[in-house]
Amino acid sequence: MSRIGKQPVAIPAGIKVSQVKEGHFTRLDVEGPKGKVSFPFRAEVGISIESGVIRVTRAGDEAFTRAYHGTARALIANMVKGAAQGFEKRLEIEGVGYQAKTDGKKLTVQIGFCHPVELKIPAGLTIETPKPTTVVVKGADRQLVGEFAAQVRGIRPAEPYKGKGVRYSDEKIIRKAGKAFGSGE
């Protein structure tokens, strides 16, 4: 058995969990105060909900099934945590004139291009800009939060010489020394 896969996932108070069989897949829906998250799981794993815990079992002993067992349990734990507490990614923008703002359902980023870059905010996410140089991405779906934060960072990742660009708040940029000009003697 997978060490992670055999651990049960506790369901906190205020969280509703349901499962629906859809062909070869079992869709698990988790709903809580921070939102609703659903994900289809393959037939290689069985999901049972009983007395406040979710247990994941596997159908066979093939290599893929063993690996998917732990992955499915980790995804379910993230779904429960996201519906209960939510996930958050903070991005910082550094550079003269670089800034971001939210306009309804889109995020507008001015980051050194001749035009502002506009990104449509996906359903299920909330974007905050407490300062023009800080973007906070919040949501119940961990994958969606991380994907949108990576998309914003991908517009202009922080460069190693001056550190200008978009970075995660906990990211360390390894700085390089520029070319030293001087006599060639």
127: β partners: 137
Domain that holds residue 39: 9-84
Biggest CA-to-CA distance, the chain: 79
pLDDT score, position 97:
93
Quote the tokens at residue 6: 């055999």
Structurally, the chain folds into a number of domains equal to 2
Q: What is the pLDDT of residue 104?
A: 87
DSSP state of 159: P
CA 5 to chain CA centroid, Å, is 21
pTM: 0.88
Token couple for 98: 């670089």
In a shared domain, residues 79 and 142: no
Q: What is the mean pLDDT of residues 4-16?
A: 92
Q: Is 68 helix (H, G, I), strand (E, B) or coil?
A: helix
For residue 25, how many C-alpha atoms fall within 13 Å in the half-sphere facing its CB? 9
**pLDDT the model gives residue 93:** 96
In a domain, 2, yes or no: no
Whole-angstrom CA distances from 110 to 53, 88, 126, 145 are: 46, 22, 20, 21
Of 58, 84, 110, the residue at which a domain comes to its end is 84
- Give the confidence band of 183 by pLDDT, cuts at 50, 70, 90: low
Which DSSP state fits 33? T
Asked if the model's pLDDT at residue 182 lies above 80, the reply is no
The answer to whether residues 98 and 78 belong to one domain is no
Q: Taking the CA of residue 26 as centre, how many other CA atoms within 13 Å lie in the half-sphere pointing to its CB?
A: 17
| 76 and 106 part of one domain | no
Residues 75 and 98 both lie in one domain: no
Same structural domain, 157 and 145: yes
Task: Round to whole Å and give the CA distance between 11 and 55.
Answer: 11
Which run of H or E residues covers position 149?
A: helix 142-153
What CATH code is carried by the domain that includes residue 14?
3.90.930.12
